[in-house]
Structure 1
Amino acid sequence: MPIGIDPTVDYAFKRVFGRQENEESLCSLLNAVLRRPVGERIESVVILNPFLPLEAFDDKLSVLDIKARDESGRMFNIEMQIRLHHALRERVLFYWAKLYTEQLTEGDDYAELRPTISVLVVDDILFPELAGPHHCFRLCEESRGILFSDQIELHVLELPKFDKPLPDLTDDLDKWLFFLRHAATLDINHWPVELAKSPWQRAGKELTMLAQTEIEREKYEARRKGQLDYTTDMRAERRIGRAEGRAEATIRLLQRILKQPVTTDEALAAMTAVELAELVATLTAAARQSGISL
């Protein structure tokens, strides 16, 4: 029977990767993303804001990110988003900066700052101009690519760009991307051999336990619904915004054709959608009465 829990819903994502008991899965995911040599791979992490199943997550806009520190002191912020939000790139930078600056208190030496790495997993396309699902951003000199500092590193995983089937998975990042895209359809009792190692099996069991725990299932469904509702609301607002933008452009054009004073941007912005539509209708009627073909 399929697990039926989508790990891209941030509540489930944090359950899988945001519990100290699941340190192995988080280390595996981070190592897969960072692609460091064997001697630089993460062996352990401390989760600084662990998953709390009984915590209330009523605000559909709240951020269920994961903050962690590895054995070398490097800081990590991992976030799952099912859709693109307004100013998402700026928000990633803001949370990176917050985690970076919070390392120091007054009087501390800047040399004590440790590299801080943000990982954004998004079930949408953030960079349509880039091929592949994994993108790494560092602070480099523009013409020669010389690294200014290793203190900042941003990774983005775009899930829709990953389409490999199970037999074609070649490395751990492939396996985690497949898990995130398809775990809801997998059966824990018939687990694929390609994901048979501990990190993925443990992640699958976490989703199964979530599915079988009534109160957690309810929180998951509420969070999932909230995120979907927010996405629907945002799309509706964008459609309304585009419609209002077209109405404003039509009003300006008709006023120029009729040689009327053009309504200011501020005045148009203050009008409701109904008022804009009424003004368009009035101007259209006036144009037709003047013998102007529209």
Structure 2
Amino acid sequence: MQKETKTEVYQAADDFLMSPKVDFCFKELFQSPKVRQGFLAAILGKNPGEIVETQLMQTILSKESADSKYGILDVRVLMTNGSQIDLEMQVAPLEYWDKRMIFYLSKMYTEQIQEGDDYDKIKKCVRVHVSILDFNHFKDDNKCYREIAFCDLENGEKYTDLLEIHVMELKKLPEEQTDEPLLIKWMRFLAANRKEDFEKMAEQDQYIGEAYETLKKLSADETKRLEYEVRQKALRDKNAIEDYGYHRGEKAGEELGRSRVNRLNAKLLEEDRLDDLKESLLDTDYQQKLFEEFGL
């Protein structure tokens, strides 16, 4: 019997679809001009016909000096009016997320002019952040999408539209409803895990339909699939290493905590302070005071 090639094996597994939540797939999807057109129209609240043309730009932002830091973007798009939009799929928790967002947006903004240029050359810069983290950036509400801009804190009036941040938190998506905004439909497409879910969203909008067709072609491409699997493995390995480090730290912390409590109990028994011992076992605030008293 003839041996199957890798290509034949991949094509036989016709139910396989890459996940847009993996940043490799996310970047590849937006290589399609029509996918960019539909998604950006949803973000900007425009009719897709108003998005005449989009161009992919260099994703590495320049350094101002030898000692300064590079900025590396996922997908950077130039609009016909000169404005720029950066699209990022965030696949891992990041410390100082807010500072990082401002850093990238600021570099996009300031990179537009050189020494001697007038400020009127500066165009709008937008950063679109799609989050699939295991925690939410904004913990005090259930809003899955928000637009952030400079505004007057007293009356909420927008100061300028030259800098904007759009944040999508896929883990906050509510139960599906009828007549949802197109942007929410795009979020459901990006968050989908099953072929049926992708197909359902694709039927509701021609541009999401184009994204689904692009996704199927990517998933059937042997080279792209190998690249995807390498990236997916790297992310799994990174998460496993971080989890291992966290659990080791957690275990060490528990052991240190038990040792500290045992030393406190020994001190209280030694000084015959049985009432303090009893209270410390019931009240962690009182226990903390005793730690401080004994310098533990």
Corresponding residue number in structure 1 for 2:209: 201
5+ residue gaps, structure 1, are 51-61, 260-294
| CA–CA separation in structure 2 for the residues paired with 1:119 and 1:187 | 23
Higher relative contact order (CA closer than 8 Å, sequence separation 6+): 1
| CA–CA separation in structure 2 for the residues paired with 1:177 and 1:187 | 12
Shift of residue 220, structure 1, vs aligned partner: 0.2
Secondary structure of 2:95's partner? Answer: coil
State the number of aligned residues: 241
| CA–CA separation in structure 1 for the residues paired with 2:201 and 2:244 | 43
Shift of residue 186, structure 1, vs aligned partner: 3.6
Shift of residue 134, structure 1, vs aligned partner: 0.3
Corresponding residue number in structure 2 for 1:177: 187
- RMSD (Å) for aligned C-alpha atoms: 3.0
- Residues 40, 220 of structure 1: alpha-carbon distance in 2 compared, 3 angstrom cutoff: closer
**Contact 2:131 2:169 survives alignment (8 Å):** yes
Secondary structure of 2:81's partner? Answer: coil
Corresponding residue number in structure 1 for 2:38: 28
TM-score by length of 2: 0.70
| CA–CA separation in structure 2 for the residues paired with 1:132 and 1:103 | 33
- Residues 64, 95 of structure 1: alpha-carbon distance in 2 compared, 3 angstrom cutoff: closer
Shift of residue 164, structure 1, vs aligned partner: 3.7
Letter in 1 for 2:185: K
Corresponding residue number in structure 2 for 1:290: none
Corresponding residue number in structure 1 for 2:22: 9
Please identify the structure whose Cα radius of gyration is greater.
Answer: 2
Secondary structure of 1:43's partner? Answer: coil
Percent of residue pairs bearing the same amino acid type: 25
Corresponding residue number in structure 1 for 2:114: 105
Query: 4+ residue runs of structure 1 moved beyond 6 angstroms?
Result: 250-259
Summarize the alignment of residues 1-294 of structure 1 with structure 2, pairs less than 5 Å apart: 1-17=14-30, 19=31, 22-36=32-46, 41-49=50-58, 65-124=74-133, 125-165=136-176, 168=178, 170-182=180-192, 184-186=194-196, 191-192=199-200, 195=203, 197-245=205-253
| CA–CA separation in structure 2 for the residues paired with 1:71 and 1:183 | 34
What CA deviation, in whole Å up to 9, does each residue of 1:154-205 have, x standing for no partner?
Answer: 011011111444x7352211221121122652488xx437635431122112
**Contact 1:133 1:158 survives alignment (8 Å):** yes
Shift of residue 242, structure 1, vs aligned partner: 3.9
Letter in 2 for 1:135: R
| CA–CA separation in structure 2 for the residues paired with 1:233 and 1:114 | 41
Shift of residue 151, structure 1, vs aligned partner: 1.7
